[in-house]
Structure 1
Amino acid sequence: MLQHGRPARRGTGGLRDGRYRARLPPYRDGTLTDDDEVAVAHGDAGSGYQTLSVPMVTIRHAAGLARAEGVLGPDSAGTLVRLAKSLFYADRHWTSLAEQARQAGIPRDQLEDWVASWPPGNPTSNATTHSKPWTRLPGIQGPFPGRGARLSNRPTTGRSSYARKRPEPASGGVHVAGKEILGIIDDLPAEDFTALADRLGTELWNAGVHFEGRPYPASPRPLVLSAEEAAAVTDAARDLHALLERVAALYREHADVREFFPRYAHAEHWLAADTGTRPDVFVCRFDGALVDGRFRIMETNTACPGGVIQNGIVHRRWAQAVSEELGLDLTPFTDPPQAQDTGLFVRRLVALHERKTGRFPESAAVVQLRGKYANEVDWISEGLTAAGVETEIADARSFVRSREGTVLLDGRRIDLAYNKLDQVDLIRTPEAVAYLDAAAAGDVTFVNGLLAQCVLNDKSVLALLTDERFRTLFGPAVQDVIDRHIPWTRRVSSGATTVPDGTRHDLAAYLRKDRARLIMKPADKTRGEGVVIGPFTDQPVWEAALDTALAAPDTYVVQRYLPLAASDLRPYSGGRRCRMTHGIDTYLFDGDFAAFQCRASLDPVVNIGKRGMLLPVVVEEARA
């Protein structure tokens, strides 16, 4: 039987009836009036109602004492309070706050001194000298809703690492490690699995996580990665991100690289412009698979991919549902940064603008085009607003430029623009020229940049990287990254080329002959549109698709097919197990690892919108 626990929150009724006011002078004198100041999240009775977040008044008090004693400067103390206030009450923990403060530019020595001097606890305590070993930065442990203590995954230097100290198990939970969790969930009776799936689906719906107006298809069964596998994927993702940054520089420097992308020739003056914003690829999601222990990618997704916020919400809701319903202690698994802090993406956006301009953005816009791609738009807008940035949702055709080069929306200056739109449509829209000119001139912090959204997102970029004609542009170490992580890719055309076995053939003739080892897809489409997988396609259908591609030069690519992993999985809504294929995707924010994603499907083309579902990804702790 399931243990039907429910998430608990400590309310603010005591604030209304005056029980806390003798202890909290700011309420007594009217300085503070917001219930949010004293709200905390807490565990259930079995945990002794363990406090799982830090009240806002505690953070205010800590910052005030630190300022009074010279631990923090006035500006740093104010920034900490502003950042904390922007968080949902249950998301206020020392870990996430310290990470946000670091990103906001508060000096590291001030942060270490502040966190080391302040214990979580009574906001009226005068204690400021209690040294806590868990407060070393980075890797601060702190409350996490529904979980107990956690460590940050963000490394200080060098390569990624999932090694961490084991926190104390949550009270009353059954300790599980490694793939034991899969056996527990797989062995659930059908009615219990369905009940768990129903709870997860309901909580995601209530949290605003939908898929095109339907319940979000998330499975209670996770994909488990070993610490070694996770490190291999994140290390590869960082190398691939650096590789794309190199391609961006080559596009600006070399005419032959620009000529490789003739479909964007009319927009070169926008794409090749260097505004100084780095990295060119602020956010990306590498879609790929682990093949023989190596992470190999099929797509780069540098055109502002989906999941930058909701993926973290899904992970947190899944962890809460599984730990409460099944009574499991999940502390042996590492939470990705995106799940530790669901506001991470927005804060990184703000930090990017501050790094570029030296100023906090006063205004921002989340930019669409003709209303297409609305997923997460409201969350990003609301997150920026909560961070203190006046934000609007706008259409790219609504912007104008002043004579001074200021980007205006309804007469108001816009400092930061995040794009959630069809980038190919954007550069072909005459009414958006003012917006595009402003982006190329650097008048607005434009994320991702046009070069990243168009050229680096186009699947043809993988053809450039694996084409021997351009190999000399990359040093031996970079060539090794290409060989290890990018499958053989070509733009569909006629003419001689080197095929996967190293011999030279006419490409069109080779594609007709070697269907069983190839996959063909449009260069700029998403969600599996137009993808034809050779091993799962009859020869007449394959040849018809090839003829279509040959008749539309530079619009299709062909790749060496990477067989995806397959598992016997129950559909997210319950039912009997089915064989489903799945890969592994990796999000990077500002060049740093943010999260994993796993999509599984009954079809060879993995699409959660068509007979697919999302599997939460958990990472085993590293072995000692």
Structure 2
Amino acid sequence: MESAMSKANGPFQQDRGGLALCPYDAELDVLLAQASAAERENIAAAQRELRGVALAKGLQFDANHAYPVCLRPTIIDADWAEQLKSAGERFIRVFDNVLELYRHDAEVRKLYRGYEPVRDLLLAAPAFRPLTRICRFDGLVAPDGRYLILETNTDCPANLFASGMATRLWRSLPNPILAAWGRDVELVPQPIVETRNLFISEMLDTYRADKGRDPSEVRIVNYNGRFTSETDLIIQGFGERGIHCEFIDLRELERGAGCVTHRGTRIDLVYNKWDLRDLVQCPDAEHYLRAVAAGDVVSVNPLACQWIYADKSILALLSDPRFGDHFSPADRRMFQRHVPWTRVVAPGRSISMEGEQVDLCDYLKRHRTRFLLKPTNATWGDGIVIGNKVQDADWQRAVDAAASNSAFVAQEYIQGHVVHCPDPATGEITPRIADLNTFIFGGKAVGFLSRANQSPIMSLYKGGAMLPVMVARH
């Protein structure tokens, strides 16, 4: 994975400029960019039909958000896909070493200052490995062809059901884009698409690994109703296995002697749908979190994943040379290939992108267009400040504000590759920035998700489109 990708099976520069993920994907892009007015209308009509069928089948995030599946797929080469899968699986193994670094290294803990009140809880990890059973790595392909992981999503990622459902629906309907393309290609199956309820299987496998039996009672645990996506699908999936599951608020749970109960019923397995930043110093959550840490109930993922691995500070740890001695040479090469330059924003010295010692805040202020600021543990693109999208005075204030609480990272700005695709609602063909994400279940890569947006923020909640992924052999 550390060697440079060949142009035959990885991203490559196109003759007309820009970057394509593979020759097949480039062909689709040319087809859409050059479509005639009649072809565009035909595509728009098919896109509206796809949206209508998706809504009729209940394919949506929640009651307020239709799932924006797009007619245009993203096509990646099978050999390159294998490289990305291997890298993703290796990152999962590295993450479990990070927990030990956090346990023993004071400098590593400084990256995670906000979690000091709950340090004893997240260190009380269960015995099974990997700790991260469910995650989605979100990444962009940089102009130089590197695939860079921007988000680790080891807490409660979305699209675990909807991505596979949307892809199966997409391929069941007539598609004028693929018809016009006309190629007959060999596709590599993706487990997250082909295996219905794969997420449920992984949840059950995790419980068996810890307890040696199947669970009887499962709860999706929420706090104040902030995250609800796919909860109905999770409940339905467990129901099909004969296992009772409900969506509840954590304040409905009670801790007993070595157990957690809900309305008098002992709970075996929980999946948490929340932002754990809300719970670091939350009296409502203390008894429940202590029960999870004690192993009174099995949590997917464990608390260490939801606080330490999901926090963007982990990318600062992996990309900062001052922590390099904690990792093997092969791991460091992998980080150079797949982790963007990232630093926790705080006053003091750091190492620049050029490898020089600099005052971090001054360096960020002088190079506004090269960076963005992100809250260390937030979702949906909330709180992001993109340097090349704001005025200099606003950027200066944002850097100062970020440095005042050490709850932000600065990250190099990556210009993702651009594709042409129809809008999920209207069918109008426009250029959008696209990403590529990898699902990892039980330490194994199980498939891909691609999103495209006119904004650099890829969230499907903020105007993004979901592009089904085809893994193709040339």
The two structures have a TM-score, normalised by structure 1, of 0.68
| Cα distance in 1 for residues equivalent to 2:176 and 2:195 | 21
CA contact (8 A) 2:74 2:469 kept: yes
Between the aligned partners of 1:294 and 1:236, the Cα distance in structure 2 is 12
1:604 aligns with 2:435: no
Please give the residue correspondences for 1:176-325 in structure 2 after superposition, counting only pairs within 5 Å: 178-179=24-25, 187=35, 189-212=39-62, 213-291=64-142, 292-322=144-174
Q: Contact (CA 8 Å) 1:193, 1:574: kept in 2 or not?
A: no
Whichever structure has more strand as a proportion of its residues is: 2
**Pair 320,184 (structure 1): closer, same or farther in 2 beyond 3 Å:** farther
* Contact 1:399–1:409 (Cα < 8 Å) also in 2: yes
Q: Give the 3-state SS of the residue equivalent to 2:173 in structure 1.
A: helix
Distance 1:214 1:447, change over 3 A: closer
Change (3 A) 1:438 1:222: same
Q: Say whether 1:522 aligns with 2:343.
A: no
User: Do the aligned partners of residues 457 and 407 (structure 1) sit closer, same or farther apart at CA in structure 2, a change above 3 Å counting?
Assistant: same
Aligned partner of 2:4 in structure 1 is none
- The equivalent residue for 1:398 is 252
Deviates most, 251-260 or 340-349:
251-260
Asked if residue 562 in structure 1 is aligned to residue 403 in structure 2, the reply is no
1:352-391 correspondence to structure 2 within 5 Å: 352-391=206-245
Q: Is residue 365–residue 417 contact of structure 1 (8 Å, CA) maintained in 2?
A: yes
Shift of 1:573: 3.1
Distance 2:105 2:403 in 1: 27
Task: Tell me by how many angstroms 1:242 deviates.
Answer: 1.8
Q: Give secondary structure in 2 for the equivalent of 1:581.
A: strand
Deviation at 1:506, TM superposition (A): 0.6
Alignment map for 1:54-133 (pairs within 5 Å): none
> Any conservation in 1 of the 2:42–2:176 contact (CA below 8 Å)?
no
Structure 1 residues 87-126: Cα deviation after superposition (integer angstroms, max 9, x where no partner): xxxxxxxxxxxxxxxxxxxxxxxxxxxxxxxxxxxxxxxx
The answer for the alignment partner of 2:18 in structure 1 is none
Deviation at 1:588, TM superposition (A): 0.7
1:399, 1:197 → 2: CA distance?
Answer: 44
3-state SS, counterpart of residue 285 of structure 2: helix
Question: Partner of 1:414 in structure 2?
Answer: 267
User: 3-state SS of the aligned residue for 2:346?
Assistant: coil
* 1:538 corresponds to 2:388: no
Note the C-alpha offset of 1:214: 3.5
> d(CA) in 2 for partners of 1:373 and 1:339?
23
CA contact (8 A) 2:96 2:130 kept: yes
Partner of 1:430, secondary structure, is: coil
Given the alignment of the two structures, is residue 465 of structure 1 paired with residue 465 of structure 2, yes or no? no
Q: Work out whether 1:336 is the aligned partner of 2:228.
A: no
Residues 72 and 177 in structure 2, CA contact (< 8 A), matched pair in contact too: no
Matching of residue 445 in structure 1 with residue 298 in structure 2: yes
CA contact (8 A) 1:245 1:279 kept: yes
- C-alpha deviation, 1:561, in angstroms: 1.5
Q: Does 1:426 align with 2:262?
A: no
Aligned AA (2:131): D
Q: CA RMSD in A?
A: 2.3
Instruction: Tell me how far apart the structure 1 counterparts of residues 334 and 385 of structure 2 sit (CA, whole Å).
Output: 27
Flag the structure with more relative contact order, 1 or 2, with Cα contacts below 8 A and sequence separation at least 6: 2
- Distance verdict in 2 for CA 1:483–1:474, change over 3 Å: same
Check the 8 A contact 1:236/1:295 in 2, yes or no.
no
Between the aligned partners of 1:319 and 1:329, the Cα distance in structure 2 is 15
Distance 2:439 2:134 in 1: 7
Q: 1:287–1:299: 8 Å Cα contact kept in structure 2?
A: yes
Kindly state the Cα deviation for residue 331 of structure 1 after the two structures are TM-superposed.
6.3
Provide, for residues 198-234 of structure 1, a one-character-per-residue CA deviation record: whole Å limited to 9, x for no partner: 2211222122222452432221011111112212221
SS at match of 1:391: strand
Which has the higher mean CA deviation after the structures are superposed, 568-577 or 283-292?
Answer: 568-577
2: CA distance, partners of 1:618 / 1:182: 14
Q: Following the alignment from structure 1 to structure 2, what is the Cα–Cα distance between the partners of residues 279 and 394?
A: 27
User: Do the aligned partners of 1:277 and 1:445 also contact (CA within 8 Å) in 2?
Assistant: no
The equivalent of 1:71 in structure 2 is none
Q: Which amino acid is 2:154 matched to? A: T
Q: What amino acid sits opposite 1:511 in the alignment?
A: L
Whether the aligned pair in 2 keeps the contact of 1:233 and 1:294 (CA below 8 Å) is: no
Other-structure match for 1:33? none
Counterpart for residue 12 of structure 2: none
Structure 1 residue 496 and structure 2 residue 349: aligned? yes
> Matched residues in 2 for 1:242 and 1:546: separation?
33
The answer for the alignment partner of 1:513 in structure 2 is: 366
What secondary structure does 1:609 align onto?
helix
> Kindly tell me: are residues 332 and 182 of structure 1, through their superposed partners in 2, closer, same or farther at Cα, counting changes over 3 Å?
farther
What is the count of residue pairs matched by the alignment? 445
Contact 2:29-2:419 at 8 Å conserved across structures: no
CA-to-partner distance for each residue in 1:416-468, whole Å, 9 max, x for gaps? 11111121213332122221111101111111111100111111111122223
- 1:280 aligns to what SS in structure 2? coil
Separation in 2, partners of 1:576, 1:312: 24
Pick which of 500-509 and 207-216 moved more. 207-216
**Structure 1 counterpart SS, 2:353:** coil
Alignment of 1:574-593 (within 5 A): 574=426, 576-593=428-445
Q: 1:330 to 1:242 in 2, by over 3 A?
A: farther
Unaligned runs of 5+ in 2: 1-8, 10-22
Cα distance in 1 for partners of 2:175, 2:430 equals 25
**Cα gap change, 1:372/1:559 in structure 2, threshold over 3 Å: closer, same or farther?**
same
One-letter amino acid of the structure 2 residue matched with residue 427 of structure 1: V
Q: CA deviation at 1:181?
A: 5.5
Measure the CA separation in 2 of the matches of 1:576 and 1:414. 48
Deviations 1:394-431 (A, max 9, x none): 2112222222x022111111111111112121333212
- The question of 1:487 aligning with 2:337 is answered no
Q: Secondary structure at the match of 1:524?
A: coil
Q: Letter of the 1:371 partner, please give it.
A: G
Percent of residue pairs bearing the same amino acid type = 33
The Cα shift of 1:183 comes to: 6.0
Tell me if structure 2 keeps the 8 A contact 1:190–1:574.
Answer: no
Aligned to 2:20: none
Distance in 1 (CA, whole Å) between partners of 2:110 and 2:365 is 27
Structure whose alpha-carbon radius of gyration is higher = 1
